[in-house]
Amino acid sequence: MRTLVAGLCLSALLAVPALGELRLADDRLTLDGLLLAGAELYEFEQGGWHQYAFAFQRRAAQLGMTARLADDASGRVEFDFSSLGLRELYVKFGLPGNLDLFAGLLAVPLGFDAATPEAELALVGRSPMYWLTKPGGPRDVGVMATWNGPAWLQAMTAVVNGSGSGASDENSWKDACARVVCILPPDAGLELAGRGYYGHRGSANVTWLGAGAEARFRRGRFAAQGEYQRTIEGAEWVNLGYVQAVYDWRFMLPALRAALIDRKDDNLELQADFALGFRLIGDRVKLSLSYQYHRVLNDWFYGSYGLQLQATL
């Protein structure tokens, strides 16, 4: 059933090649979509045991709808037909002073990776940082305020459940986080950011603290970014970081990322991703060839060769 739904979504996406998004009801309603499908040849090894396999994958079949409710208010809902899960459901209010207020199920943009829409990713998949910046994953239920100050400064703060998008709150605490981005003069091409997170995880109310630093450099066709975060959860700690580089050359988009995760009393975890993207129909239809090297030292290894087709509405 999910494969059928994903196929119907692909047909719908490719049926409107002239549009980057679909606008209805006198521009009060906007539809957008993303389809990711691929194939992967992978190897897994642990303790002398090897497994080799090949699989076709349906990675995403997302359809979003944004409605303009009033001059300074809008609502958005987004559903993934591949996982049969709700991704976003919120109301947005535009307030004086370049301030926007969001309430509902939303993505918390803790980092440059988290703030990048999936359709604009140069690599296949997110960095490990994306999944570990906060308890419960990058999406959550709560309220968030964003501020676009002077041309060189942006800020975000949010109060959320801290248990993810598909789970009820497991404790009576609410989690709080904030992020500040400093944009240097345009000719420098450099952005610096910092973030913090405080909350409690699970029914045991384990304290969860996180602090991170970010940098992004963009000049011409070249872009690079990196993030570092230290997390303390009860008596445990985790240091994680990654660096990423992308070069936009004609219709091709080569990209490379290296990530490291260091956990207390655990082996070092390394992950490297490479992708070569091809624009088949502008930015609407892309094909990516990828390789991932993923190893936990003295424990297990995972390696994969992949192909991904991306179509956007």
3-state secondary structure of 43: strand
pLDDT at 313: 85
Q: What is the pLDDT of residues 187-211, one digit of tens each?
A: 789 999 999 999 998 878 899 999 9
Tokens of 105: 């199920």
Q: What are the beta bridge partners of residue 187?
A: none
Checking if the pLDDT of 27 tops 90, the result is no
Q: What are the beta bridge partners of residue 260?
A: 241, 270
Checking if the pLDDT of 291 tops 90, the result is yes
Give the pLDDT mean for 12-34: 66
pLDDT at 13: 43
> Which residue is listed with tokens 């699989």?
55
pLDDT at 85: 92
Q: What angle do CA 29, 35, 41 make, to 5 degrees?
A: 165
Q: What is the pLDDT of residues 236-271, one digit of tens each?
A: 999 999 999 999 999 999 999 999 999 998 899 999
Burial zone of 126 (CB within 10 Å; 0-12 exposed, 13-18 middle, 19+ buried): middle
pLDDT classification of 5: cutoffs 50, 70, 90 = very low
Give the pLDDT mean for 40-59: 94
Q: What is the DSSP letter of 20?
A: S
> CATH no. for residue 169?
2.40.160.10
pLDDT at 170: 78
Q: Report DSSP letters for 115-160, one per residue.
A: HS-GGG-SSSS--HHHHHSSTT-SEEEEEEEEEE-STTEEEEEEEE
* Dist. CA 88–CA 79, nearest whole Å: 7
3-state secondary structure of 3: helix
Checking if the pLDDT of 55 tops 70, the result is yes
pLDDT classification of 151: cutoffs 50, 70, 90 = confident
Report yes or no: 67 and 74 within 8 Å, Cβ to Cβ.
Answer: yes
pLDDT at 153: 94
Nearest residue to 20 via CA among 285, 309, 313: 313
Report yes or no: 229 and 217 within 8 Å, Cβ to Cβ.
Answer: no
pLDDT at 25: 61
The percent of residues above 70 in pLDDT, for the chain, comes to: 91
In sequence order, what are the residues at sequence separation of 6 or more whose Cβ sits closer than 8 angstroms to the Cβ of residue 156?
109, 144, 145, 146, 147, 178, 179, 180
Give the pLDDT mean for 173-188: 91
Note down the domain range covering 305. Answer: 2-312
* Domains in the chain, number: 1
pLDDT at 187: 77
Sign of the alpha-carbon torsion through 301, 40, 137, 148: positive
Average pLDDT in the chain: 90
pLDDT classification of 21: cutoffs 50, 70, 90 = low
Give the pLDDT mean for 128-149: 93
pTM of the model: 0.88
Alpha-carbon Rg for the chain, nearest whole angstrom, is 20
Q: What is the DSSP letter of 84?
A: T
* Dist. CA 65–CA 109, nearest whole Å: 20
